Structure 1
Amino acid sequence: MGKKALLILNPLAGRKRGEKLINKIIRIFTDHGYEVLLKITAFHGQAIDLCQHCVHEADIVVPIGGDGTLNQVIQGMMNANIFKPIGFIPAGSSNVFSGNLGLPKQILRAAVNVVEGSAIPLDIGFLNDRCFSFITSFGAFSNTSYLTPQKQKNKWGQLAYVFQALKDLPSIKPIHAKVITDEYVFEDDFIFGSFTNSLTVAGIVRLDHSRVDLADGKMEILLIKYPKNAVELSRTLTALRKKEYDPRIIRFHSTANATVFTPKGTEWSIDGECAAWSEPMTITIKQKLINFIG
C-alpha cells in the first residue's frame, strides 16, 4: 500500500491562499505516491478533533494554514497519543513557526518540501495541559494576535500585529509576576513575559540565535521590566534591538520548566491564541517530541 497523507486545511487562513491552491497541493502529493485524506475545518478549533480522530490513518499529517492551525494539529496528536511526522504548509498571515525552520514561504514550494524533505526532531512546550510549538506569553501584546481582525491579517500580514500593538500602547500596565525555575526566581513588575522555543518572539523581537536551540529540551524566558519613564523605555527598546539583555531591564534565561504566578485574569496567549489563566501557570518543554519535515 502507498503512503497516506492527512491534509488538514484551514480555508480562511491568509487570504484563503491554501484553499485556492488545494487541488495543486493534492496533485503534488499524489505525484509523489501519496494517498491523500483531506479534511477541511469549518470552525475555529476543529483541527484538533480532525487530527485526533484521523491521525491513526496517516503516515504524515500536513496542516495547511497559520500558526494556530499547526498548534491545533499538534494538540490533536497529543490528545490521541499518536505521533506522526508533521509537514507544515504555511498559509497564514504571519507564519512565525515556518520562519524558525526556514520553510518556503510559497505554498506550492512548501508542499514539495514536505514530500521531498526529511524529518527533524523538535521540542514542544506545554502551558498546563495545552501544547505550544513556539510561544506562550503574558502582558503587553500577548493578545495582539487573537485581537487583530482577520481582514487586517489578510491585508497586512505580520504588519497587522504591529498596528494592533501600537493601538495597545496607551493601555499597557505593569503586571506583578513571579517566575520560578530550577535555577532562579524572578519577581518584579513586568510589561511582558514570554516562554519560547523560537528564534523570534511573535516574529517581531529577534533573539540571539547563538543562545537558542529548538531541540535542546529547554525554552527561553524573556521578561521585560516595566519602564517607569521615557528614558527607561528607550533603553528597553535599544536593548531588544541589539539583543543586549541587561538584567536591570530584561531577564533572559533558558530552562526546562517554569512556574508562573500572575494576577487573576491576566491575559495569556499560546501560539497566538487566547489561553485561560490559572494559578499557577506551569510551563514545561518536552525534548524532541515531534518530528517535522523540513
Structure 2
Amino acid sequence: MADRSNSADVSEPAREFRRAQVIANPIAGRGRGSSYARELTEGLRAAGIETELLLTAGRGDAGKRACEVAGEVDLIVSVGGDGTLNEVLGGVGSASPAIAQLPLGTANVLATELHLPRRVEAAVEIIRRGRTTPLDTSQVNGRLSFLCVGVGIDGFAVREVERRRTGAITKLAYVTAMARVLGGYRPPQLSLEIDGVPVDGHFGFVLISNVRGYGAVFNLSPDCRHADGLVEVYGLRSGSIPALVKMAAVGMAGRLPGRAVEFWQGSRVRVTAPEEVPFQVDGDFGGAGPVDFEVSGRQVRIVVP
C-alpha cells in the first residue's frame, strides 16, 4: 500500500482557448440546462472563442461527442452534473483538451470541491483566464471514474434510483431510495485488497475516493490530493444500520475516517464478496459483482477559478 506525499494540488500555467465545444444535458438544472448552455455558448463567442453547442438527447451522447471533437478543440465545457462530466472525461480518451464545467446537477461533487461557479457570466470569466489544475482518472471494471466508488449500501441505493428513474434525478430521489433499501437491509461481507495486499477480515461497506467530499454532504480526508496517483480507501467493518448511521454522523459533523472507519491509501483496489454486491461509480449505478479499481495514470486538466 502506497504512502501519500505531502505535496499539494498544483495548478498549471494559464492557457488561451481558441476553439471550444459545449456539451449540455438539457434537462439538468431543473430543465434549465438548454438555456444556460446557449447563454454560455454566446458568452464564449463574445469572448473571442470559436464555440459549438451540442444538446444531448440521451445517455452516451456526451461521451460520443467528446470523442469526436477531442482532437479538434482545446476546450470542452460540460453543462450538467457529475454524470455528464463523467461521460465527457471518458470520451476524450488520450486527447488533451482542457475541461470546464457549468455545474447544474444534483450533487456537483467536483464543482463544489473546486469552487466552480454556477453563474454563466462567472464561468465565462474563469474560462477566459485559462487557469487549470490536473485531475487523476481511474478505471473501474473498464469504466472511467474521477470521483468515488462505493460498494455496499450506496450501491444498493443508486441501483434503486436507476430502477425508478424517469427523468432528472433529485436529492429526494436518493433519500427515498435509501429509505427503501434500509428496510430489511442485510450488509454484505466484502473482502478488500489494496495494491495487491489483502486486508484481514471482512467489511460491510467500502468507499474508494479521489475527492474530499462524498455526495456533497459528507466530509472525507483533508489529505486528499486530486492528482498524486493515489486514492483514499475507507472501510467499515460492520455494515449494520447503527454502524452506517455512526459513519454518516462522523462524516457530516467532522471528517472521516475518524473512529468510524478504517483508512488506507493506494492506487489499485479490489473488492470481492461471496455474492454479487451492487456498487456505484461517480454517483451512477456501476453494476454488481467484484470491483477492480486502478488509477489509470491519465490526468485531465480542469478549468478552475
TM-score normalised according to structure 2 size: 0.83
Shift of 1:67: 0.3
Task: Indicate how the Cα distance of structure 1 residues 262 and 114 shifts in structure 2: closer, same or farther if over 3 A, else same.
Answer: farther
Shift of 1:150: 5.8
- Counterpart residue identity of residue 57, structure 1: E
- The answer as to 2:235 corresponding to 1:220 is no
Counterparts of 1:22-101 in structure 2, within 5 Å, are: 22-78=37-93, 81-101=94-114
Out of 122, 131, 136, the position equivalent to 1:118 is 131
Shift of 1:142: 2.4
Partners of 1:177 and 1:229 lie apart in 2 by 16
Quote the Cα distance in structure 1 between the aligned partners of 2:217 and 2:133.
25
For residues 289 and 246 of structure 2, the distance between their equivalents in structure 1, rounded to whole angstroms, comes to: 32
Residue aligned with 1:33, SS: coil
User: Post-superposition shift, 1:188?
Assistant: 4.1
The one of 170, 173, 178 equivalent to 1:165 is 178
Distance 2:241 2:287 in 1: 31
Contact 2:138 2:146 in 1 (8 A): yes
Q: C-alpha displacement at 1:185, in angstroms?
A: 2.7
Query: Cα deviations across residues 119-150 of structure 1 (Å, max 9, x unaligned)?
Result: 11111122132111101111112243464366
Aligned residue number for residue 20 of structure 1: 35
Contact 1:218 1:254 in 2 (8 A): yes
Q: Is the 8 A contact 1:141 1:168 kept in 2?
A: no
Letter of the aligned partner of 1:134 in structure 2? L
Gaps of 5+ in 2: 1-16
How has the CA–CA distance of structure 1 residues 183 and 128 changed in structure 2, closer, same or farther, with 3 Å as cutoff?
closer
Deviation of 1:10 (Å):
0.9
Q: Look up the SS of the partner of 2:301 in the other structure.
A: strand
Partner residue in 1 for 2:264: 253
Secondary structure, in 3 states, of the residue corresponding to 2:98? coil
Q: What is the Cα deviation at residue 182 of structure 1?
A: 2.9
Kindly indicate whether the alpha-carbon contact (under 8 Å) linking 2:37 and 2:53 is maintained by their aligned counterparts in 1.
no
Q: How far 1:106 sits from its partner (Å)?
A: 2.9
The answer to whether the 8 A contact 2:38-2:53 is kept is no
Residue matched to 2:299:
289
Counterpart residue type for residue 292 of structure 2 = T
Secondary structure of 1:220's counterpart equals: strand
Q: 1:49 to 1:238 in 2, by over 3 A?
A: closer
User: Which residue identity lines up with residue 254 of structure 2 in the other structure?
Assistant: K
Would the aligned equivalents of 2:156 and 2:181 in 1 still touch at CA under 8 Å? Answer: no
The total of aligned residue pairs comes to 285
CA contact (8 A) 2:34 2:55 kept: no
Relative to structure 1, the CA distance from residue 50 to residue 235 in structure 2 (aligned partners, 3 Å threshold; closer, same or farther) is closer
Please tell me whether the aligned partners of residues 196 and 268 of structure 2 are also in contact (alpha carbons under 8 angstroms).
no
**Structure 1, residues 148-170: CA drift from partner, whole Å, max 9, x if none?**
3667966xx54543343233222
Aligned to 2:146: 133
Q: Percent identity?
A: 23
Determine if contact 2:189/2:202 at 8 Å carries over to the other structure.
yes
Go from structure 1 to structure 2 and tell me whether the alpha carbon gap of 1:198 and 1:126 turns closer, same or farther (over 3 Å shift). Answer: same
Q: Which moved more, 1:21-30 or 1:163-172?
A: 163-172
SS in 1 for 2:87: helix
Superposition deviation, residue 183 in structure 1: 7.6
Match of 2:23? 8
Matches of residues 146-157 of structure 1 in structure 2 within 5 Å? 147-148=160-161, 157=170
Contact 2:100–2:302 (CA under 8 A) maintained in structure 1: yes
> Residues 183-198 of structure 1: matches in 2 within 5 Å?
184-198=197-211
**Do the aligned partners of 1:122 and 1:287 also contact (CA within 8 Å) in 2?**
no
Structure 1 partner of 2:285 = 274
Using the alignment, how far apart are the partners of 1:118 and 1:112 within structure 2? 11
Q: Distance in 1 between matches of 2:22 and 2:271?
A: 36
Given candidates 117, 120, 124, the residue that maps to 1:104 is 117
